């Protein structure tokens, strides 16, 4: 099997083949079960195994995409995450582990859900308090590189790029950016805050933001196509979207008359406007703006043919927020899970400005799809207690629910962390498929229904009695 090097900015496929999903699944599972690692001779013979088996390769049929604003919930069920924390932090003696396991259903299903998705897990352990999984690229990135080299004949460009969460949100509107094309989000809040356009001005007065995307050669889009985009952003909570076409004889838009020459000059300078460009604006609260423009960005790239399906762009997303405000519960909640370690330099903000504390969590994103994620765990009892307090968990509640963990941490635990790769999702991308359902036997629907067996079915009375559950059916008049 040929192994051409990647060309250009990203990694390009140069072979006419793609591995069948089922075959790739079996080979990767065998490697994991046997504990093979990059650099070990048994692991490097995968190409010979594939060749001997006479497996056919399959070209990708397109790029799988998830709506950028629908961030999948990262936390696993508390009991599993809790026991893993105790095991990794206290009872471990080895430096790393490999596990292939079935993952539990996600609390918030993805747009392309896999309710029984397998995960490949790796946990690293070292004595350095500044430990991160990215400190060991020869293991994580080397493993990914080996898969692409052996299964697809592609040499990835290593190391992968790193992008802080704040920069990813600012430039792409999502923490799962597809970096194969530009169409960056640009913050123009300060420029349009004092404009006569009421939509912009009122959004800023309410504490919102105004962001825009410059679409090169976008002025060729018809009014019908623009109207469809405006309706599309409403799906993500936006009230609408302003647009400007930059023509040779001036700006064409219903909002141009509300923008002074000074505002137009400021926009032109900041966005690098050229004749033929299309400018798209959304003004609202930052979350709505990011969700709307992130998905517009994807839709435009697909519509205008800006996505190079032959290129693979990996990027690490780092420094996620540790906490976020839950408006329904009126308290802070963990973005990842309660055992994620905060950055050492942000610890002083934990009590005074918890929303500004960054975590030592990280995701690995490929072409706009998250393929792996994890974090460094808290290994100090005092830090764990402070995080519990920031979450509104008092000392008594912490002792009742997590007493064994706090006691274990008191006896000392080394810095530890890990990363989990979505097994089926990775197979989907390696096979160039559009849906994770294509690589899962008997996949569930987004509502967790099994089309084969009809589950979930109505339980029997004796089953309810065993669980002390009483069901009252609604009476219809």
Same domain, yes or no: 253 and 122: no
Neighbouring-strand partners of residue 278: 215, 245
- Nearest residue to 243 via CA among 228, 254, 234, 259: 254
Neighbouring-strand partners of residue 121: 99, 420
Same domain, yes or no: 429 and 343: no
| Residue 391 CB coordination number (10 Å) | 18
Look at residue 313 and tell me if it is in a domain: no
The confidence score (pLDDT) of residue 315 equals 95
Same domain, yes or no: 139 and 7: yes
Task: Give the whole-angstrom CA distance, residue 32 versus residue 328.
Answer: 42
Q: Name the E strands within 103-143.
A: 118-125
Task: Give the whole-angstrom CA distance, residue 164 versus residue 200.
Answer: 28
Task: Examine residue 14 and say whether the peptide bond preceding it is cis (omega within 30 degrees of 0).
Answer: no
Work out the burial of residue 406: count CB atoms within 10 Å of its CB; fewer than 13 is exposed, 13-18 middle, 19 or more buried.
middle
Task: Examine residue 73 and say whether the peptide bond preceding it is cis (omega within 30 degrees of 0).
Answer: no
Same domain, yes or no: 250 and 269: yes
Same domain, yes or no: 39 and 109: yes
Cα dihedral across residues 123, 127, 132, 137: positive or negative: negative
Same domain, yes or no: 284 and 424: no
Contact 287, 325 (CB under 8 A): no
Q: What is the mean pLDDT of each run of 10 residues along the chain (477 residues)?
A: 38 41 56 45 35 37 46 45 56 44 46 50 48 60 89 91 96 97 97 95 96 97 97 96 96 95 96 97 97 98 94 94 93 94 95 96 93 90 96 94 90 81 84 84 83 85 87 70
The confidence score (pLDDT) of residue 169 equals 98
Contact 9, 161 (CB under 8 A): no
Quote the domain boundaries for residue 224.
181-306
Look at residue 450 and tell me if it is in a domain: no
The confidence score (pLDDT) of residue 412 equals 79
The DSSP code sequence of 108-136 is: S--SS--TT-EEEEEEEE-S-TT--GGG-
């Amino acid at each position: 099997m040929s192994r051409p090097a990647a060309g250009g900015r990203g990694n390009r496929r140069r072979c006419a083949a793609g591995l069948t999903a089922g075959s790739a699944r079996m080979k990767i599972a065998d490697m994991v079960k046997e504990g093979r690692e990059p650099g070990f001779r048994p692991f490097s013979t995968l190409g010979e195994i594939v060749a001997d088996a006479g497996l056919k390769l399959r070209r990708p049929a397109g790029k799988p995409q998830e709506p950028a604003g629908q961030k999948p919930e990262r936390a696993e069920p508390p009991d599993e995450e809790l026991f893993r924390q105790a095991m990794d932090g206290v009872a471990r003696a080895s430096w790393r582990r490999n596990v292939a396991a079935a993952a539990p259903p996600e609390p918030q299903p993805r747009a392309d859900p896999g309710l029984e998705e397998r995960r490949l897990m790796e946990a690293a352990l070292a004595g350095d308090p500044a430990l991160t999984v990215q400190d060991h690229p020869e293991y994580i990135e080397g493993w990914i590189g080996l898969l692409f080299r052996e299964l697809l004949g592609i040499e990835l460009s290593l190391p992968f790029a790193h992008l802080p969460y704040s920069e990813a949100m600012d430039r792409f509107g999502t923490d799962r950016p597809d970096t194969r094309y530009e169409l960056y989000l640009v913050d123009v809040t300060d420029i349009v805050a004092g404009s006569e356009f009421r939509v912009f001005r009122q959004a800023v007065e309410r504490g919102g933001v105004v962001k825009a995307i410059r679409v090169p050669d976008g002025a060729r889009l018809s009014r019908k196509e623009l109207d469809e985009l405006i309706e599309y952003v409403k799906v993500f909570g936006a009230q609408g979207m302003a647009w400007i076409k930059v023509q040779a004889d001036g700006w064409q838009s219903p909002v141009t008359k509300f923008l002074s020459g000074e505002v137009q000059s400021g926009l032109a300078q900041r966005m690098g406007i050229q004749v033929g460009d299309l400018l798209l604006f959304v003004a609202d609260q930052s979350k709505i703006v990011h969700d709307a423009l992130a998905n517009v960005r994807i839709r435009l790239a697909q519509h205008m043919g800006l996505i190079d399906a032959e290129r693979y762009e990996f990027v690490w997303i780092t420094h996620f927020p540790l906490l976020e405000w839950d408006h329904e519960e009126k308290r802070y909640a963990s973005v990842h899970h309660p055992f994620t370690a905060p950055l050492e330099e942000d610890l002083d903000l934990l009590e005074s400005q918890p929303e500004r504390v960054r975590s030592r969590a990280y995701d690995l994103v490929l072409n706009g799809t998250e393929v792996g994620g994890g974090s460094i765990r808290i290994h100090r009892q005092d830090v764990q207690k402070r995080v519990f307090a920031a979450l509104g968990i008092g000392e008594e509640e912490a002792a009742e629910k997590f007493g064994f963990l706090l006691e274990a941490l008191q006896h000392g635990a080394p810095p530890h962390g890990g990363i989990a790769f979505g097994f089926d999702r990775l197979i989907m991308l390696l096979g160039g498929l559009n849906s994770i359902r294509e690589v899962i036997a008997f996949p569930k629907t987004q509502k967790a229904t099994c089309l084969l067996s009809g589950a979930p079915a109505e339980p029997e009375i004796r089953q309810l009695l065993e669980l002390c559950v009483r069901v009252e059916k609604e009476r219809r008049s």
